[in-house]
């Protein structure tokens, strides 16, 4: 965390926490049929756009070391190191969630051989290329396919970006817009078409550009420190713009095809607004950075990957088994059931994701650099008594 604060990027942890809250809120709305009062209803109805924020943060975090290397003389990151870090961050937790998903989905498949191809494509992160038979059991896996496939082309994109950030940004944005419009007439509702890497290149590109802009401003622009109020106001202004964009996306959720059309027309604008939020917040006054990187959001950020992997699976299981119990044949007809369902799904999702993060994900990440909130397996295996976990990132 101290390194993030020195770089001014601790706000990214807070924004990652906001991203998972948006996605969690959206899926909870779908599963429970509970619509919170305004203004929280806006976040529930458009929370699927939290995935876009995740993608932009991914582009930012992936490219930040490269930007520091080019602009600030930071250490270079090899492709081998990049691949290893991505593997231990993504794969072990993903495989565990995939196994649990397969077990939950198994009773709904007439024959095991129908489930085996789905498991295979998911293990290869190719499930977004097909109509995913596991999508009804765990709705978030498609985005992991997009993310990992982006990792494969990222080293090349990083080289291009370091040589010419603006031309590369323009090219990636143009490819994304061109791809979405090219298939708008035939396939705007076809998920194996719309959920491909080219459709999200503008989001990733603006995340990378945000990282470059933050490092450039901090290392090459002498007036950056004097302009912190302006950056803070820009970040706050971007939130206002984002609010109206989320509200319009939420309204599109209720009209056939309008959500897909909103994404077609609005994703690039959303990406630019998010980039302004990230850049402005990273270069903002201290009080704004502390507000975004508050302990609650930072801790949620620590759990965010596993919360993302597990929450829909847990909510589906609770819904299928009428948990908490309800006298109504359809739980959605019982208004008293809805808050109990939401509370239980939040509790179980946090407990499961915290356990996976603490015992699996963070200890593996410690093989790269020290992490808090990581079970000290080495000391335990050596016979030492573990200390209480530290939850700060």
pLDDT at 387: 66
Model-level pTM?
A: 0.94
Provide the CA 319 distance to its chain's centre, in angstroms.
24
Query: What does R_g of the chain's alpha carbons equal in angstroms?
Result: 21
**Torsion on CA atoms 219, 225, 231, 236, rounded to nearest 10:** 120
pLDDT at 76: 83
Q: How far is the C-alpha of 238 from the C-alpha of 241, rounded, in Å?
A: 5
Q: pLDDT tens for residues 273-324? A: 999 999 999 999 999 999 999 999 999 999 999 999 999 999 999 998 889 9
pLDDT at 1: 45
Domain coordinates in residue numbering, the chain: 2-381
b vs e for 88-115, b when ≥16 Cβ sit within 10 Å of the residue's Cβ? bbbbebbebbbebbbebbeeeeeeeeeb
DSSP 303-345: HHHHHHHHHHHHHHHHHHTTSS--SSSSGGG-TTHHHHHHHHH
Q: What's the mean per-residue pLDDT of the chain?
A: 92
Q: pLDDT tens for residues 325-339? A: 988 889 999 999 999
Estimate the crossing angle of helix 337-356 against helix 79-105, to 10 degrees: 140
- Taking 90 as the threshold, does the pLDDT of residue 381 lie above it? no
The torsion angles phi and psi of 301, rounded to 5 degrees, stand at: -60, -40
SS3 for 379-391, per residue?
HHHCCCCCCCCCC
Split at pLDDT 50, 70, 90, the class of 159 is very high
Q: How far is the C-alpha of 15 from the C-alpha of 264, rounded, in Å?
A: 24
Mean pLDDT of 15-28: 97
Closest CA to 176 of 58, 46, 246, 263: 263
The torsion angles phi and psi of 76, rounded to 5 degrees, stand at: -75, 145
Q: pLDDT tens for residues 218-267? A: 999 999 999 999 999 999 999 999 999 999 999 998 888 899 999 999 99
C-alpha dist (Å) from residue 74 to 10, 39, 65, 70, 215: 18, 43, 7, 7, 11
Q: What is the DSSP letter of 128?
A: G
């Amino acid at each position: 965390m101290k390194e993030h604060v020195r770089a001014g990027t601790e706000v990214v942890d807070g924004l990652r926490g906001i991203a998972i809250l948006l996605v969690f809120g959206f899926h909870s709305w779908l599963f429970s049929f509970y619509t919170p009062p305004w203004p929280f209803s806006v976040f529930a109805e458009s929370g699927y756009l939290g995935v876009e924020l995740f993608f932009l943060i991914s582009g930012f975090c992936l490219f930040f070391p490269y930007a520091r290397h080019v602009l600030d003389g930071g250490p270079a990151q090899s492709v081998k190191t990049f691949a290893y870090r991505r593997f231990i961050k993504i794969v072990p937790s993903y495989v565990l969630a995939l196994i649990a998903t397969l077990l939950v989905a198994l009773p709904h498949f007439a024959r095991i051989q129908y489930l085996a191809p789905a498991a295979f494509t998911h293990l290869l992160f190719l499930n977004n290329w097909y109509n995913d038979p596991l999508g009804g059991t765990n709705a978030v896996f498609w985005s992991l396919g997009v993310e990992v496939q982006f990792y494969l082309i990222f080293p090349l994109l990083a080289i291009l970006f370091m040589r010419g950030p603006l031309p590369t940004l323009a090219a990636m944005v143009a490819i994304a817009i061109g791809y979405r419009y090219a298939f708008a007439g035939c396939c705007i509702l076809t998920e194996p078409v719309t959920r491909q890497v080219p459709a999200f290149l503008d989001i990733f590109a603006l995340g990378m550009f945000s990282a470059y802009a933050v490092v450039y401003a901090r290392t090459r622009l002498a007036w950056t420190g004097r302009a912190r109020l302006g950056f803070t106001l820009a970040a706050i202004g971007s939130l206002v713009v984002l609010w109206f964009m989320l509200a319009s996306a939420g309204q599109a959720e209720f009209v056939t095809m309008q959500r897909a059309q909103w994404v077609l027309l609005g994703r690039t604008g959303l990406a630019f607004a998010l980039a302004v939020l990230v850049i402005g917040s990273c270069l903002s006054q201290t009080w704004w950075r502390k507000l975004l990187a508050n302990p609650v959001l930072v801790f949620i950020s620590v759990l965010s990957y596993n919360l993302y992997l597990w929450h829909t699976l847990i909510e589906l299981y609770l819904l299928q088994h009428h948990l908490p119990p309800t006298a109504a044949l359809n739980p959605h007809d019982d208004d008293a059931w809805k808050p109990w369902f939401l509370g239980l799904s939040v509790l179980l999702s946090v407990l499961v994701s915290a356990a996976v993060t603490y015992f699996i994900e963070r200890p593996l990440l410690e093989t790269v650099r020290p992490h808090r909130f990581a079970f000290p397996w080495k000391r335990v295996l050596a016979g030492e008594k573990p200390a209480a976990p530290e939850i700060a990132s």
